[in-house]
Amino acid sequence: MALVSAKEMLVKAREGKYAVGQFNINNLEWTKAILQTAQELNSPVILGVSEGAGKYMTGFKTVSAMVSAMIEELKITVPVALHLDHGSYDGCYKCIEAGFSSIMFDGSHFPIEENVAKTKELVEVCNAKGISLEAEVGAIGGEEDGVVGKGECADPDECKKIADLGVTMLAAGIGNIHGKYPADWAGLSFETLEAVKNKVGKMPLVLHGGTGIPTDMIKKAISLGVAKINVNTECQLAFQEATRKYVEEGKDLVGKGFDPRKLLAPGAQAIKDTVKEKMEIFGSINKA
């Protein structure tokens, strides 16, 4: 199946009270592990690519070509969206040109008027091409490609302003942060989430910073309209732990243990296990 926009899978998720996971990719192993898990579990999936990861993989065209070819070679039949994560204005256009099926324009650092104007323009471009568009209101705290902030809460009226432009899904800060959560984290603000939901109606909401949010909070967020949850750091930590274990146990020194296909295998399996665990919590299994 060719890449699809995230629209249909998220509308279905919003109605069915489950969420589709966005799992960020960094290389071939990451992409393969996530696609295989989605297929095995018959779940829709969104592959997230940050601008930094896109650059690391030599550019968005390489990413787009790799993902499309992999879907064909692995005979993936579940819906897959290839999504730019926290895109800049220029980055959005580069990904549209490279064949991405979904983009996020992160205009949260602009004054609201400028965020509105740029988002409005991108809504038209994306609609014409059948690409889904995510917008962000109220910065998500933590580290976003080097920019560190606190767990903010979005203004529900600003959320409505952006939602009314016709975006596909909306990321609103509800006290969530990127990366590992600090020990003194106050938790998600369900008050904010409920207020945002009441303003934006059926619009699928996006929860960023899915790593380490307790399961009961995730489930409550889904019941309040969250239909897409972003997971990035958790796969990185699982990969790191499994790779460290392989090396610390000296397995790289035995026989052909140095072969990258062997060296990276435990990490890839750890990503698969993490993705499976998340899809179970999000409720997206057998929803393809």
Tell me how far, at minimum, the Cβ of 86 lies from Zn ion, in Å.
6
- Ordered DSSP codes for 215-268: HHHHHHHHHTTEEEEEE-HHHHHHHHHHHHHHHHTTGGGSTTTTSHHHHTHHHH
Candidate ranges 121-129, 202-210, 242-250, 253-261; the one touching Zn ion (CB under 5 A): 202-210
Return the number of the residue (232 or 243) whose C-beta is nearest Zn ion: 232
* Site size toward Zn ion, by CB under 5 A: 1
Return the number of the residue (82 or 242) whose C-beta is nearest Zn ion: 82
Candidate ranges 62-70, 188-196, 205-213, 263-271; the one touching Zn ion (CB under 5 A): 205-213
Selecting among 85, 164, 184, 216, the annotated active-site residue is 85
Phi, then psi, of 138 in degrees rounded to 5: 75, 110
Return the number of the residue (161 or 208) whose C-beta is nearest Zn ion: 208
Q: Distance between CA 266 and CA 243 in Å, rounded?
A: 6
Return the number of the residue (14 or 208) whose C-beta is nearest Zn ion: 208
Tell me how far, at minimum, the Cβ of 88 lies from Zn ion, in Å.
14
164 is catalytic: no
Whether 161 contacts 112, CB under 8 Å: yes
**Does residue 208 belong to the site contacting Zn ion (CB under 5 A)?**
yes
Tell me how far, at minimum, the Cβ of 193 lies from Zn ion, in Å.
16
Phi, then psi, of 157 in degrees rounded to 5: -70, -40
Residues whose CB is less than 8 angstroms from the CB of residue 146 and which lie 6 or more positions away in sequence, other chains included: none
- What's 182's DSSP letter? P
Residues in the chain: 288
Candidate ranges 10-18, 111-119, 208-216, 275-283; the one touching Zn ion (CB under 5 A): 208-216
Tokens of 151: 């767990």
| Residues at the interface with Zn ion (CB under 5 A) | 208
Q: Which residues are catalytic?
A: 85
